[in-house]
Structure 1
Amino acid sequence: MSRLGALASQSMRKRAGLLGAVVGVAAVGVAAGVVAERALVRRSKRGTTDRYADEDFGQQAYDESTTVTTADGTDLYVEIVEPADGVELDAQFAASVTGAGSSLEPTLVFVHGFCLDMGTFHFQRKELTRRGDYRMVFYDQPGHGRSGKLETGEYELPALAEALHAVIDETVPDGPLILIGHSMGGMAVMAFAERYPELFGDRVVATVLMATSGGRLEETKFGLPALIARAGTPLLPLVNSATRLSGGVIDRARQASSDLAWLLTRRYGFGNPRPSPALVSYVEDMNSRTSAETVARYLRTLYTHARYPALKALRNTPTLVIVGDKDMITPVTHSEEIVRHLPEAEFVKVPDSGHVVMLEHADEVNAALVEFLEKLTA
């Protein structure tokens, strides 16, 4: 080996050792506070009347499950819920959106956010299934839930748009669509609009954007899981590099600090200072199943998200924007900026709610969503 090569190799080993040491120190620091954090979690849960204590947050019923493979070879897990027998879209509305006398009901396609999975829409799925009015498609985004991860390269929002397109092609080959995106899911919808603006007003007849943003994410702590959020944005490049070297170490530290993760989930995900402990645990469970490697590979693209111009495609469709007034991850100002670009959009600001508004205040979100859907067929 040449002297230059030897020096480069030595430098890389030192850097790897430094990164490993930093991660190790972080893990030790987290572990040292676990006892106190567990006591705080117990106090947080004690004496709380939890309306969701008996809620079954397990898998919900579906009529069909399938796997959709994207162009880059990622397998996406999909579940489909069919409408109740005999439910059809109003023929006049169908004709207006399809240009024909079709009575196809609109299919609702749900796109979840970062570090979550299709269970994000637990209460919306439950209520709309009870009503039986719509065909619904749910899928786990690449690297999340039961979907496969990207084998090489970065997760890019245009790739998430292509994933959405692949799901639509496989599960909704024709008929009207309503896209419903939360957080990063809303950004995937915007990226989809950027790539396929001709579909809006033709196939995509309405859009719902929940707790999302068209850009400026560098100003927020976007959906960071516990260990990374604790370090803060300035350390992201360090954590990203460390993840490639020792992602398993970070994952183990996160698991060891589950109570810290629970507290941070409550702090950053919810607006009410005493939310349902069962809901907090449900969200944290989804968070914890997302690997540190996936987190790091998504963060780099999320912080560069800037798609306000893509919103012009949504002007051809009715749009509903929903946000919690105490959202710390994609604050109200981000939704207000979306509405500024879409002045005809309906805007619902849910009081005393944080980033997981559709879980924390499911009744209010369901009411707004059902009213919006019913207006489309009135």
Structure 2
Amino acid sequence: MRAAPASGTERSAAVTDDSARLTVYTDGPSQAGVTVILSLGFLMTADVWRLQARALSAGGVRVVRYDQRVHGNSKPGRAALTVDRLGAGLAHVIDATTPHGPVVLAEHSLGGMAALTAAARHPELIRHRRPHVALISTSRSRAQLVPGTHPLHWIKAAGRAGYSYPLCWLPPAADVARHRLPSRHPWAFRPATQHHGDSPPPSRQAIRRTPTAQIAQLWKSLRTYTTAEMLHALHTLADRVEIVTGELDDWIPLSQTHELARQLPNAHMHEPVMGARHRLPTDRVGHATATQVLNRMAQEGLRAPASTAPPR
């Protein structure tokens, strides 16, 4: 499996059918026997996968990361910004970057929701490619402000509501406030700022150039999103689907993870990573588990029969 690793990260773009320009980052040897495609969460950039990209590519695996539309260096398209659109974007990235060969799809949080939507809307992709799929800190149902019943959860919910509702209903005023935030604040609005180089911008710069109205549009979609009773395509993958989460995840609580596992009875749900929180790929405790799972799935992908691209 081990091949000479590529020198550095290669940056490219995938343009979707509605003209969204998705910035793609590729690491590892171009002739690797398996490709791991990494999809990111809400208000993050592909930089959230930096530890996994480094480890996997050093082991001879080709790694493809990309910024979701309106995140990082990616641009919006003509279509409304919805989870369905993110799922279509993932399918497009797979077609554009890895039309042949074994594939591992690793999806974190919002990226997992996009993957579930892609499986529901593009079942031929699953049937023909038969990827290994890692659903990390993700849910099959809408985003919730209240992560649990503990009093601290209600305090967190109040804080989240305190910024989410103004964002959704007063985006111009939110833009004015964001212009006045310190430059290092993750919500700072600096549309003229450019990130140079081939590597993705830090996650704190995920929405540096994103108007609040676009963030609000995606948040509203997240609040109504569901793939309940729509995951038949993933059932056929059986134990190729694995579910990983952190014990202390307070964005996608364990109750939602267990519900996802019930919707995918053939999937393997790992024991929650003790002490790990939502951002598992960079979590101080959980990042090693995420890397180990993906490395093992890549090895299994190499042993799988050769796959072909689906008719699109």
TM-score range, shorter chain: 0.7 to 0.9
User: Aligned residue for 1:8?
Assistant: none
User: Aligned residue for 1:42?
Assistant: none
User: Aligned residue for 1:74?
Assistant: 20
1:117 aligned residue (33, 38, 45): 45
Question: Given residue 206 of structure 1, which amino acid in structure 2 is its aligned partner?
Answer: H
1:212 aligned residue (124, 129, 138): 138
Against the structure 1 CA distance between its residues 260 and 175, is the aligned structure 2 distance closer, same or farther, given a 3 Å change threshold? closer
User: Aligned residue for 1:324?
Assistant: 246
Cα distance in 2, alignment partners of residues 74 and 139 from structure 1: 13
| Pairwise CA distance, 1:236 | 4.0
User: Aligned residue for 1:242?
Assistant: 170
User: Aligned residue for 1:370?
Assistant: 295
* 2:226 is aligned with 1:306: yes
SS of the aligned residue for 1:299 comes to helix
User: Aligned residue for 2:274?
Assistant: 351
Cα distance in 2, alignment partners of residues 252 and 363 from structure 1: 37
Against the structure 1 CA distance between its residues 214 and 61, is the aligned structure 2 distance closer, same or farther, given a 3 Å change threshold? farther
Cα distance in 2, alignment partners of residues 70 and 316 from structure 1: 27
TM-score (ref. length: structure 2): 0.77
Against the structure 1 CA distance between its residues 173 and 260, is the aligned structure 2 distance closer, same or farther, given a 3 Å change threshold? closer
User: Aligned residue for 1:176?
Assistant: 102
Cα distance in 1, alignment partners of residues 162 and 205 from structure 2: 26
TM-score (ref. length: structure 1): 0.64
1:164 aligned residue (82, 87, 90): 90
Question: Given residue 299 of structure 1, which amino acid in structure 2 is its aligned partner?
Answer: W
Cα distance in 1, alignment partners of residues 84 and 187 from structure 2: 33
CA displacement 1:262-290 (0-9 Å, x = unmatched): xxxxxxxxxxxxxxxxxxxx654546665
Against the structure 1 CA distance between its residues 304 and 61, is the aligned structure 2 distance closer, same or farther, given a 3 Å change threshold? farther
User: Aligned residue for 1:187?
Assistant: 113
| Pairwise CA distance, 1:201 | 3.9
* Greater share of residues in helix: 1
Against the structure 1 CA distance between its residues 201 and 259, is the aligned structure 2 distance closer, same or farther, given a 3 Å change threshold? closer
Greater CA drift, 342-351 or 186-195: 342-351
The 8 Å contact of residues 246 and 276 in structure 2, kept in 1 or not, is answered as: yes
SS of the aligned residue for 1:303 comes to helix
The 8 Å contact of residues 220 and 330 in structure 1, kept in 2 or not, is answered as: no
Against the structure 1 CA distance between its residues 123 and 61, is the aligned structure 2 distance closer, same or farther, given a 3 Å change threshold? farther
SS of the aligned residue for 1:200 comes to helix
Cα distance in 2, alignment partners of residues 287 and 333 from structure 1: 29
Alignment of 1:75-154 (within 5 A): 75-83=21-29, 105-132=33-60, 134-150=61-77, 154=80
| Pairwise CA distance, 1:231 | 5.0
| Pairwise CA distance, 1:307 | 0.6
User: Aligned residue for 2:178?
Assistant: 251
Indicate the RMSD between aligned Cα atoms, in angstroms. 2.9
| Pairwise CA distance, 1:219 | 4.7
User: Aligned residue for 2:3?
Assistant: none
Cα distance in 1, alignment partners of residues 39 and 231 from structure 2: 17
* Structure of larger gyration radius: 1
| Higher relative contact order structure (alpha carbons within 8 Å, sequence separation ≥ 6) | 2
Number of equivalenced pairs: 272
| Pairwise CA distance, 1:364 | 2.1
Against the structure 1 CA distance between its residues 284 and 257, is the aligned structure 2 distance closer, same or farther, given a 3 Å change threshold? closer
The 8 Å contact of residues 183 and 210 in structure 1, kept in 2 or not, is answered as: yes
Unpaired segments of 5 or more residues in structure 2? 1-5, 148-155, 189-201, 304-312
The 8 Å contact of residues 320 and 372 in structure 1, kept in 2 or not, is answered as: no
2:215 aligned residue (282, 285, 295): 295
Against the structure 1 CA distance between its residues 320 and 144, is the aligned structure 2 distance closer, same or farther, given a 3 Å change threshold? same
The 8 Å contact of residues 62 and 79 in structure 1, kept in 2 or not, is answered as: no
Question: Given residue 357 of structure 1, which amino acid in structure 2 is its aligned partner?
Answer: L
| Pairwise CA distance, 1:371 | 2.7
Question: Given residue 182 of structure 2, which amino acid in structure 1 is its aligned partner?
Answer: Q
| Pairwise CA distance, 1:235 | 6.8
